[in-house]
Chains A and B, each alone.
Chain A
């Protein structure tokens, strides 16, 4: 049986106070397991990105807990939460957020450098991950010289460089055409996912749902249903 990667319990997050208060996430609980690709899908404004931020140590919930390796993430100090993000979580941002002034290899090496790995060693390690994502020959180019799909791969290489347990993708296909988007997710499922890693993807792109092991459907800050193994259960 697969191991538990992360457990979210009764998560609540609101923004603003008084009349301007908006509840983005309402008492959400779910588990994520190693070896699975978990999709979080729903319309814009349904709270997907907020939920992603709550479980990845980026945004503090108003209430509820996120348990990782038996520890409450939000009970940690801010420095330990930063360490958690650096060591346990890999992010692939919607806009990639690659550094245009650095080479592709240097971009991928950033998490390793933040982990105090020697510069040259980090670059060598980054080259390996670029090979894994199939763009080893682009290592010395700046990201702006790469296509959208290639930039996405650089972002993936950067996310997996620190060997995280949990990999988080925010709208990975939003900036790509349908074919490239599917190829990327297919690549992730075949090459990046393993039994010691959990991948959580926020998306509203139904064309890639076929790659999900489970799909959490959100609406108005609530989970409205969970789809398993490709078939929908409301």
Chain B
């Protein structure tokens, strides 16, 4: 069987023009599909940046909240009610809102301010510079060093700015696991200072973060919060809810899906057509092989091998090209959101298998229909 596959391999790769055209078609399709899905995965990942960076196990919110970026403040009693639920180890408020800072240069810059519970600082980021205790100092803020950091003029510990005519001082530089989606820098401070600096509505708590006593307590906590008229989601559920919102309610998901389908159709058209031409040009040769004594299943195996080999090579090249482009784009644009995920790779792989399957099917049908007698007849 190895020899037959070797013949199939040589027939394929020695026809350099066709082989190159096949590879270009599949590589291009995989590249587009992976770029689309990676871009979407990056957007979805960053849309949950606050959830990932704060890291709380359970988030309490108004049921109408779809993403961490769009909050509906919770009444103060909810925090007390949540704290009294059996199974809650502790619960703390989280402040999250947009604000405008004035830099020393006089430039105004939008920021996201996250106010951590004063007592526990639950959800605090890892500091690269400075000490976390300094967040209690007068006017203290911690800035996140992510792709948006330069928009604040690359501040250092001690850099000053204004926020609603209040003086602010950078006391620490932190890093987080995920950059934000909306292209604005993030400042951390205490909950009470955030309230003090930023104009507030009647209620101020964006989310209540819960640390349950055990994972078995989670369903009960969720039920009790629901009885209060609010929603408690685990971290993964909140990320999923955020993803679902962007997928199904913003049009982004539909657009990405359409582009991915187009990429698939383009790839299928190019490679299917080229493979069909390749089979047509070699049809007499397959007929000659049949006349010599090759069985139908051996010819089918040859065609499947050729289609699979081309598809998998194209898949590898497409993934490599997409990785290269994403890496280069990230070097040039730190806020570039695309990320290659295993589901993206799996999806592209399945699509490539479908392309290989359809291309093979067309070829196999042709080859099985050729009669060796046609070879004699010329």
Contact with B along A74-111 (1 / 0, CB 8 A): 00001100111111010101110101011000100011
> Chain A contacts of B11 at CB under 8 A?
99, 101-102
Q: Is A227 an interface residue (CB 8 A)?
A: no
Complex CA distance for A111 and B11, rounded to whole angstroms: 16
The answer to whether A82 and B376 have CB atoms under 8 Å apart is no
The answer to whether B7 and A102 have CB atoms under 8 Å apart is yes
Q: Is B331 an interface residue (CB 8 A)?
A: no
Which listed residue (B4, B290, B291) contacts A113, Cβ 8 A?
A: B4
Q: Is A63 an interface residue (CB 8 A)?
A: no
Complex CA distance for A50 and B290, rounded to whole angstroms: 17
Interface size, chain B (Cβ < 8 Å): 30
Would you give the shortest CB distance from A165 to chain B, in whole angstroms? 13
Q: Is A119 an interface residue (CB 8 A)?
A: yes
The answer to whether A91 and B14 have CB atoms under 8 Å apart is no
Contact with A along B1-22 (1 / 0, CB 8 A): 1111011001100110000000
Q: Is B377 an interface residue (CB 8 A)?
A: yes
Which listed residue (B288, B293, B371) contacts A93, Cβ 8 A?
A: B288
State the majority secondary structure of interface residues on B: helix
Interface size, chain A (Cβ < 8 Å): 36
> Given contacts A102-B10, A119-B6, A122-B3, are A114 and B293 in contact (CB under 8 A)?
yes
Would you give the shortest CB distance from A168 to chain B, in whole angstroms? 9
Complex CA distance for A78 and B295, rounded to whole angstroms: 8
> Chain A contacts of B321 at CB under 8 A?
none
Would you give the shortest CB distance from A73 to chain B, in whole angstroms? 13
The answer to whether B292 and A106 have CB atoms under 8 Å apart is no
Which chain B residues have a beta carbon within 8 Å of chain A's beta carbons? Answer: 1-4, 6-7, 10-11, 14-15, 284-285, 287-296, 298, 371-373, 375-378
Known A-B contacts: A59-B372, A91-B291, A101-B10. Give 9 more (CB < 8 A). Answer: A50-B373, A78-B296, A83-B293, A99-B285, A102-B11, A102-B14, A111-B292, A113-B3, A114-B289
Which chain A residues have a beta carbon within 8 Å of chain B's beta carbons? Answer: 49-50, 52-53, 58-59, 78-79, 82-87, 89, 91, 93-95, 97, 99, 101-102, 106, 110-111, 113-114, 116-119, 122, 158, 162, 170
